[in-house]
Structure 1
Amino acid sequence: MSHIEKEDSPPAGFRILDLFAGPGGLDVAADVLGHQVTGIEWDAGACATRSMAGMDTFRGDVRKYRAAFFPHAEVLTGGPPCQTFTVAGHGAGRRALDDVIRYIERLHQAVRPENDHDWKHIFRTWRKISEELRLSALEAKEVKAEKREVDKLRGTTRKAVKSRLEQLGNSADEVTIFLKKLKAPQDLDVSDEEINGLLKQLGDLNDQLDKLKAKLEELGDERTGLVLQPLWWVIERSKRPGSKPYEAVVLEQVPAVMPVWREYAHVLASLGYRTKRQWMHTEAFGVPQTRRRAVLMARFDRTAQENGLHPGLLTGVRETHARYQPGARPSPSPNAGYADTLPVVPSKKDEEEIPKEPWVSMRKALEGAREISPKKVCDRPAFTVISNYGTGGDPEARGRRDHDVPSATITGKVSRNRVVEKDTGEDLDRFSHAEAGVLQTFPVAYPWTGNDISQQIGNAVPPRLALHVLRHVLGPELGRKEAKAGLDRAAADLEVWKPGVPVEIREHGEWKGHPLTGR
């Protein structure tokens, strides 16, 4: 059985539907807070982890599901994959972003109250957008197949050039030097007629490949359309006859997606939601890791919607910990911030202003987890983590973080990071899956399983961050001291959380007996 029980059980908190649910970062936070979560996830590895963690899950592509399938869901959450937006300064990323914003504007025009469009018109608008995205994906698939063939021909031609050079008596070094110049074969001048013919063929293939790459950039990545899915689910629940709007919506992604959340917020306001977009630095919420996320929060304002009023804005989530400053070290006092930065001064306008705590270091997080589970966390001396990534574009300039500061962003390549003794540089054990999960604020007992676990961990929502967001959007209004006490209790519960009985993953169409489907 799942931790979500049968339909007639009184729900603990809200019933949440989590799109693109991953291994369960938001789910475990919601579970600690007393909410019930059902996730939709297509990745087999993430589903395997969710199963072992007891997380209620439907497997499959979100696009194959609809909001109407889950009429009893009260809250919608998710982090749609947005890799195409993250190519900083690259034309393809900018075009993908512009395309999505144009699609959102088309949906916005369809749902604006002043346009008074009925459900059929709104649904037709979505169907047209979906069809455009489908046809674009099919064309991109054909172009990718053609590109693979061109790449294969280029490889064959390069081998022919190498073979001919060797026949002509060139040394291995001479052949290697010549092959390095094949990026611009049209600039090479050789006397051998056969090589000249191969160079011309290679130049033509390069030109063809450039055109195919440009076409792919124009068509975009099929995953780009996935970012529209949460918005459509909200629209469907708000406008489809017989449906009720979600009580709240929470979406998070990489910083590059903030322009998309801005357009989302305009549409959600038209549907009667109070919204807030916020940059969130994870270490400022007790996560032992520096990571920046773009978060969109929304809460349905029934009074404003019924009276035709603008729903207004939500307040932002207050930071509880100081932000990390490179070179800074936490001071001995738990509430004094940093020794080399200005102290936090309580606001005179708010007697409940609470000084921020220092950020949490890797060592502190791992030591806390080791007390809970000594077998899963190594007892290391003072250490330095050397990132798999280069900095400043130099692959040799690896990023470094010492044990007494937050980790750099945990990515899908976390298992490649070296861990060395700080004083000697001697290699130590690299982070295990449990330890990498702890740096994402997963419980040390989280049952990581399935394929590509490092990628699961790197892609996950940090549960500690999810605690803050869910508590802010779904929890009752509380004074700051009371709210902080509640968050502290939830964070402590999160650390010692343990999985229950593994659950069976549901497939598309297996609706019977599920509390969100009503079947």
Structure 2
Amino acid sequence: MGGYGLIDLFAGVGGLDIAARSLGVPAVGIEWDKDVCATRRAAGLATVEGDVRTFSPADFPHANVLAGGPPCQTFSIAGQGVGRRALEGVQHFARRMANREDVSVCLAGTDDPRTGLVLEPLRWVLAAVDAGRPYESVVLEQVPTALPVWETVGKVLLAEGYSVVHGVLNAEEFGVPQTRRRAVLIARRRGVAVLPQSTHRRYRKYVSGSGGDLALPQCVSMGEVLKRDRPFVLVSNYGSFGDPAARGRRTSDQPAPTVTGKINRNRVVTAEGIDLDRLTAAEAGCLQGFPSSHPWAGKGIFQQIGNAMPPRLAEHVLTAALALDHEPAPVRTGGVGRLFGR
């Protein structure tokens, strides 16, 4: 479609790659984790197993779209100011990279190697520009605390002739049955970069139905995609606001909370508090937006699922980034075949 080809850095299990495939865009993902690579290959996703730092745009000459979600945990605003100091370092190194300075040795000497990894997409973009083959579009995503990093990278891309937009998207506003928030950057070489428009209402706790545009359908619930044989309550495995006893609760007519690698520790109970079967990997994958038949492989499957970008959200982001005339397919429900009322 449109002559696009995508290279996905830090590709994970391939939420972006699956989205690209649904859009008819060939994609190759670079991922270092062997178990994650096993899942990718089982799903038929083109995969290069290795460290993104050992590759460059020249290794993927047919790719004209760059995507990725580099690790950004060091930029958390929590703690003793470590995240703020790391962000200052990123801003400093990004400016030096914009001046075409080689900062690889400096980045390798940082306290946390993830600080350097977050600038890998920028290295790729600048290398492609200097080679005379700039990427047509760039898509970056991570946790909301990474937004200042995308703002820093965005300033460099603006100076290189890109139109840039960034912001935090709510996954449930795009048909994903969970309230996951992602910081997204979209850059376009041609045209004006825009974020995708919501297709569903935002979930708001303690509000009947959902907030947001009443012309949009309500956000998709856990019950719609899991179809267990009775309504249920998902009880968080950790306390809220530092209180171990204050465990978050979502009913099956609501979207799930953010799916993490520990979602299998959450209890599933009836309205009366009777324990039911805990979520399976297939069910956790469905809440992340993968089909129930997705071939998870290797070790740490729940962590693989928790680290993934929801394919449906990725499809909306890529559609906006590539300015495609595409309407994502309706949300599939009944993924695990256990219908209410059976």
TM-score (norm 1): 0.62
Determine which of 341, 353, 356 is the counterpart of 2:216. 356
Q: Which residue of structure 2 aligns with residue 133 of structure 1?
A: 107
Q: CA deviation at 1:13?
A: 4.9
Determine which of 200, 219, 237 is the counterpart of 1:321. 200
Secondary structure of the corresponding residue to residue 225 of structure 1: helix
Q: Which residue of structure 2 aligns with residue 463 of structure 1?
A: 311
Q: CA deviation at 1:469?
A: 0.6
Q: CA deviation at 1:364?
A: 0.8
Q: CA deviation at 1:382?
A: 1.3
Q: CA deviation at 1:315?
A: 2.5
Higher relative contact order (CA 8 A, sep 6+): 1
Q: Which residue of structure 2 aligns with residue 221 of structure 1?
A: 112
Determine which of 300, 315, 323 is the counterpart of 1:452. 300
Q: Which residue of structure 1 aligns with residue 96 of structure 2?
A: 106
| 1:421–1:428 contact (8 Å) kept in structure 2 | yes
**Partner amino acid for 1:388?**
N
Q: Are residue 57 (structure 1) and residue 41 (structure 2) matched?
A: no
**Partner amino acid for 1:65?**
F
Secondary structure of the corresponding residue to residue 487 of structure 1: coil
Secondary structure of the corresponding residue to residue 280 of structure 1: strand
Q: How does 1:235-384 map to 2 (within 5 A)?
A: 235-240=126-131, 243-301=132-190, 313-330=192-209, 338=210, 344=214, 355-367=215-227, 379-384=228-233
Q: Deviations over 1:313-361 (max 9, x none)?
A: 522211111110102343xxxxxxx4xx6863xxxxxxxxxx2111111
Q: CA deviation at 1:133?
A: 2.1
Q: Which residue of structure 1 aligns with residue 15 of structure 2?
A: 25
Q: Which moved more, 1:63-72 or 1:461-470?
A: 63-72
Q: Alignment length, in residue pairs?
A: 335
Determine which of 230, 234, 253 is the counterpart of 1:385. 234
Inter-partner Cα distance in structure 2 for 1:233 and 1:421 = 50
CA RMSD for the aligned pairs? Answer: 2.0
**Partner amino acid for 1:420?**
V
Q: Which residue of structure 1 aligns with residue 287 of structure 2?
A: 439
Q: Which residue of structure 1 aligns with residue 340 of structure 2?
A: none
Q: Deviations over 1:16-74 (max 9, x none)?
A: 00000001111111111111110000011110100100110000111111122112111
**Partner amino acid for 1:99?**
G
Secondary structure of the corresponding residue to residue 106 of structure 1: helix
**Partner amino acid for 1:323?**
R
Secondary structure of the corresponding residue to residue 428 of structure 1: coil
Determine which of 411, 418, 421 is the counterpart of 2:270. 421
| 2:66–2:135 contact (8 Å) kept in structure 1 | yes
Q: How does 1:40-79 map to 2 (within 5 A)?
A: 40-79=30-69
Inter-partner Cα distance in structure 2 for 1:433 and 1:342 = 31
Inter-partner Cα distance in structure 1 for 2:35 and 2:82 = 29
Inter-partner Cα distance in structure 2 for 1:282 and 1:253 = 12
Q: Are residue 487 (structure 1) and residue 328 (structure 2) matched?
A: yes
| 1:13–1:34 contact (8 Å) kept in structure 2 | no
Q: CA deviation at 1:394?
A: 1.7
Unaligned runs of 5+ in 1: 1-10, 111-121, 137-218, 302-310, 331-337, 345-354, 368-378, 497-519
**Partner amino acid for 2:223?**
R
| 1:12–1:34 contact (8 Å) kept in structure 2 | no
Q: Which residue of structure 1 aligns with residue 246 of structure 2?
A: 397
Q: Are residue 232 (structure 1) and residue 111 (structure 2) matched?
A: no
Kindly tell me: are residues 79 and 342 of structure 1, through their superposed partners in 2, closer, same or farther at Cα, counting changes over 3 Å?
Answer: closer
Kindly tell me: are residues 235 and 392 of structure 1, through their superposed partners in 2, closer, same or farther at Cα, counting changes over 3 Å?
Answer: same
Q: Larger C-alpha radius of gyration, 1 or 2? A: 1
Inter-partner Cα distance in structure 1 for 2:22 and 2:212 = 35
Q: Deviations over 1:275-334 (max 9, x none)?
A: 110210111111110111110001113xxxxxxxxx8x522211111110102343xxxx
Q: CA deviation at 1:87?
A: 5.1
Secondary structure of the corresponding residue to residue 61 of structure 2: coil
| 2:165–2:193 contact (8 Å) kept in structure 1 | yes
Inter-partner Cα distance in structure 2 for 1:475 and 1:105 = 29
| 1:21–1:79 contact (8 Å) kept in structure 2 | yes
**Partner amino acid for 1:295?**
V
Q: CA deviation at 1:220?
A: 2.5
Q: Deviations over 1:166-197 (max 9, x none)?
A: xxxxxxxxxxxxxxxxxxxxxxxxxxxxxxxx
| 1:96–1:220 contact (8 Å) kept in structure 2 | no
Kindly tell me: are residues 404 and 265 of structure 1, through their superposed partners in 2, closer, same or farther at Cα, counting changes over 3 Å?
Answer: same
TM-score (norm 2): 0.93
**Partner amino acid for 2:183?**
A
